[in-house]
A = this chain, B = another copy of it.
Amino acid sequence: MAEEVKLFGVWGSPFSRRVEIALKIKGVEYEYIEEDLANKSPLLLKYNPVHKKVPVLVHNGKPIAESVVIIEYIDETWKHNPILPQDPYERALTRFWAKFIDEKCLPALWNSTWSKGKDREAAIEEASQHLNTLENELKDKKFFGGEEIGLVDIVASFVGFWFGALQEVSGLELLTEEKVPKLCKWSYEVVNQSVIKENLPSRDKLIAYFSARFADASK
C-alpha cells in the first residue's frame, strides 16, 4: 500500500517543526498543510478534537496529535535512522529530558519574555536554573543524543533557535557564552545540522513576528 502521510502545522511552531525534522531524518515523504490558528480548518478539528492544536500527523487516514507522541510513532513505524536510543535505560533518560524541556524549560523561557512584573522576574530566575540544568546534562557530549542528534536535541531546538530569537527581541541575556557555554556551543551545532537547519522557519520572519508581538505587549 502506498503510504499517505499528511502533516497539519504552522510555519512558526516549534512543535510542528519537530515533526518535520523527524520525518526528514527518516526520509518519509509527506504533504504539509499550513493551518491558520485564527480560523482552524474542519479537518484539524476533526483530527484533534481534544486539543484542537497543531501538529497533527495523519498516516494512512489515522490521526496522531502531540509532537513527542508523533515523533515516537514515527520512530516506531520507520525504524531506520533511529531517533530514540535502543537500550531501555537510555530510552527512559531520553524521555525524561524531553519531558523536562517541554514541561519546565519551555514555559519558563516563554514566560521570561512575555510575562509582566514579578511573574516575569520569577520566570527569568526559573529559566536560568533550567538552562543550567541542561548545561550540566550536556557534559562533554556534542549533542544530548551523543554524537548524533536525537529526540532531546529535536525537542530542545526551541531553546537553541526560538529562544535565541526571543532573547534578541526582548533584550534578555540568559543563553550566553558566559552563563551556559556548553549549551551555547550545542545551540550553534544543532541549528547548523543540515536536517534541522533546512526545517527551521526563517529567522528574519520569526524575529519580525516576535518583534511585532513584543511591541504590542509593551504598549
Contact = CB atoms under 8 A, between A and B. Distances in A.
A133 interface: yes
A43 interface: no
Residue of A91, A92, A95, A133 with highest tally of chain B CB at under 10 A: A92
Q: How many copies does the complex hold?
A: 2
Interface string A44-73: 000000100000000100101110011011
A96 B65 contact: yes
Contacts of A66: 95-96, 99
A52 to B, nearest CB: 12
A100 interface: yes
Nearest to A93: B64
B91 A72 contact: yes
B100 A50 contact: yes
Interface in A148-169: none
A88 interface: yes
A77 interface: yes
A73 to B, nearest CB: 4
A76 interface: yes
A84 to B, nearest CB: 11
Contacts of A95: 66, 69, 72
